[in-house]
Amino acid sequence: MRESADRRAMSKPMNNQSFSVDGMTCPDCARHVEHALRGVDGVGQVTVDYLHRRATIAGGSALTIDELNASLPRQYRLSALPDAGASAAARRANSPAGARPNADTPPLRIVVIGTGGAAMAAAITAAERGARVTLIERGTIGGTCVNIGCVPSKIMIRAAFFVHARKESPFDAGISSGAPRIDRKVLLEQQRSRVDTLRAAKYESIIENNANLALLRGEARFTDAHTLRVTLADGEERTVAFDRALIATGARPAIPAISGLAGTPYWTSTEALASDSIPPRLIVIGASVVATELAQAYSRLGSRVTIIARHTLFSHEDPAIGAMLQQVFKEEGIEVLRQTQTRRIAYANGAFVVETSGGVLQSDALLVATGRAPNIEALNLDGIGVETGGNGSIEVDAHLRTTVPHIYAAGDCTDQPQYVYVAAAAGSRAAQNMTGGETTLDLRSMPAVVFTDPQVATVGLSEADARTKGIDTDSRLLTLDNVPRALVNFDTRGFIKLVAEAGSGRLLGVQAVAAEAGELIQTAALAIHHGMTVADLAVQLFPYLTMVEGLKLCAQTFSKDVKQLSCCAA
């Protein structure tokens, strides 16, 4: 009877030989195995390749596999490999970034739960690095952003902008204006068509045309730390085993516990973006991004809008931001009820009755926009030891790992900022780490944009944030009547504010309320990322008659009076 490869290897001396390593679940495991093997007398150089699950040992001629395994923690085991004399470095020599496994090594099996921004970025990256990826989706491919979030909302907001501009502009003295006719059904069809096109091009076709990606339609649930059970639409169940997993299930609108709300036909952002009519009266509960963007869009499309804010608009941001938007909204006819609590809601005869701490309101539609909650309830995370935070989101470390080291998470279901570009960046880095990398996601210069008009854009620390961190600041706020671009636009609503470290002048943060503020904030993000001071920023060349020139002008106010400068003075 023929001996197994392991038994033959146990009896033969070893010199510069490679072995399969079972039991490794993360790059740290490779370091543990390597450290243990180096402690064995007679063993010379040791290289442990986590991605390919191999260990290469030079020396150790008097040792057997049994003796080597005895030196390892119990969860790790070596076994013989045929023709395994080549080093890990030699095997990777012709592979880009050392990512693709050798031809005789089975590819990593990675499962990605979700198909949104984080999920797709991870799946594409992992496939590029040689893994076989199974995507699991219980709903519409593409997740929130393309289907019911960023894309449709920005289309609706842009349509509302043109409605507003045709009704009223700073140039009405020379250009006739008038109220345009609005066909919401046609606008909605245009919106849906663009969403369908982007979903097909950026999600569905990528999955279909990548041989390393497979799609399974159904709801996933962990049965153990290496297995998922997927319930398909027809009730059939599939078992999916994996080496690594990424949870990227996103989030949904959070619904507050307001008496009477349940059972009424209230809107979340999903229904608001899909409505084919414009309600005469709309109440919005909420005071942050989604609430303000959709409130202004519906107001410009013809609704009489009231916003109920528990505190103020954007109460977690610099107070100047909320104050400026409050003023803009007042000018546009949007009522903002600050410091107001919603106590009870009723619905009858096609109308909502909303009882608040400030009185009773009535409306034809009610939008609830009070935050988002992670989609994780069906996953059985408790059953496999994946921990969540106080708000229910998945906690991840700097490498996007959960508390189960070979299970990662990214996107809106985690405790990271809920922006699709953060989700995509996290998904990509998680995939790199699942396939042997050691990358992290740096959020210190993360920009954020609110697509109201004027837009709100921020990056880095506010004055309050800096104080919390014990940093003394020196700040300047420049109103837009000092920015030539705003002056020639005849639209000076807003400001640019720079927050610097006192003494050094190092730029810590920027807050802006301005037309196209989202286009200027990335320059500020780069300045913060590269450690620039306000003095550095003040001497840079900025194109004249651009809004981003306001950054330079605000930086100059730290040392001079910009009102005393000529238009292009440096």
Strands 359-363 and 251-253: unpaired
pLDDT of residue 569: 63
- Please report whether residue 345 resides in a domain: yes
For 59-106, the DSSP string reads E-TT--HHHHHHTS-TT-EEEE-TT--S-HHHHHTTSGGG-SPPTTSP
DSSP state of 183: -
Last residue of a domain, one of 413, 434, 455: 434
Last residue of a domain, one of 384, 407, 434: 434
- Please report whether residue 75 resides in a domain: yes
User: Within this chain, do residues 296 and 417 fall inside the same structural domain, yes or no?
Assistant: no
The rounded distance, in Å, linking the Cα atoms of 536 and 505 is 9
Strands 54-59 and 17-22: antiparallel
pLDDT of residue 89: 35
Look up the CATH number of the domain holding residue 24: 3.30.70.100
User: Within this chain, do residues 279 and 329 fall inside the same structural domain, yes or no?
Assistant: yes
User: Within this chain, do residues 519 and 546 fall inside the same structural domain, yes or no?
Assistant: yes
- Please report whether residue 157 resides in a domain: no
Whether cis (ω within 30° of 0) applies to the bond prior to 454 is yes
pLDDT of residue 26: 61
User: Within this chain, do residues 69 and 207 fall inside the same structural domain, yes or no?
Assistant: no
The rounded distance, in Å, linking the Cα atoms of 352 and 215 is 42
Distances (CA, A) of 12 to 22, 55, 201: 21, 17, 56
pLDDT tens figures, 262-311 = 999 999 999 999 999 999 999 999 999 999 999 999 999 999 999 999 99
- Please report whether residue 260 resides in a domain: no
Cα–chain center distance at 562 = 38
- Please report whether residue 158 resides in a domain: no
Domain count, the chain: 4
Which two three-digit tokens encode residue 165? Answer: 């501009």
The rounded distance, in Å, linking the Cα atoms of 460 and 339 is 27
- pTM for this structure? 0.82
Q: Which helix (H) or strand (E) holds 537?
A: helix 534-538
The rounded distance, in Å, linking the Cα atoms of 124 and 425 is 12
Compute how many other C-beta atoms are within 10 angstroms of the C-beta atom of residue 7.
11
Could you tell me if 498 and 484 are in contact, meaning their C-beta atoms sit under 8 angstroms apart?
A: no
User: Within this chain, do residues 463 and 559 fall inside the same structural domain, yes or no?
Assistant: yes
pLDDT tens figures, 552-561 = 999 999 999 8
- Please report whether residue 40 resides in a domain: yes
Q: Which helix (H) or strand (E) holds 217?
A: strand 213-224
Beta bridge partner(s), residue 348:
351
Distances (CA, A) of 55 to 41, 68, 194, 380, 447: 17, 11, 51, 34, 43
User: Within this chain, do residues 130 and 200 fall inside the same structural domain, yes or no?
Assistant: yes
User: Within this chain, do residues 329 and 398 fall inside the same structural domain, yes or no?
Assistant: no
User: Within this chain, do residues 380 and 484 fall inside the same structural domain, yes or no?
Assistant: no
Look up the CATH number of the domain holding residue 397: 3.50.50.60
The rounded distance, in Å, linking the Cα atoms of 545 and 272 is 37
Q: Which of 318, 328, 325, 324 has the alpha carbon at shortest distance from 498?
A: 318
pLDDT of residue 35: 86
Last residue of a domain, one of 409, 434, 459: 434
Could you tell me if 508 and 461 are in contact, meaning their C-beta atoms sit under 8 angstroms apart?
A: yes
pLDDT of residue 16: 64
Strands 109-113 and 132-137: parallel
Q: Which domain holds residue 200?
A: 109-143+193-253+373-434
User: Within this chain, do residues 120 and 241 fall inside the same structural domain, yes or no?
Assistant: yes
pLDDT beneath 70, residues of the chain = 1-16, 25-27, 50-52, 59-62, 81-104, 569-570
- Please report whether residue 20 resides in a domain: yes
- Please report whether residue 77 resides in a domain: yes
User: Within this chain, do residues 136 and 248 fall inside the same structural domain, yes or no?
Assistant: yes
pLDDT of residue 34: 86
Look up the CATH number of the domain holding residue 526: 3.30.390.30
Strands 304-308 and 281-285: parallel
User: Within this chain, do residues 221 and 333 fall inside the same structural domain, yes or no?
Assistant: no
pLDDT of residue 93: 33
User: Within this chain, do residues 244 and 120 fall inside the same structural domain, yes or no?
Assistant: yes
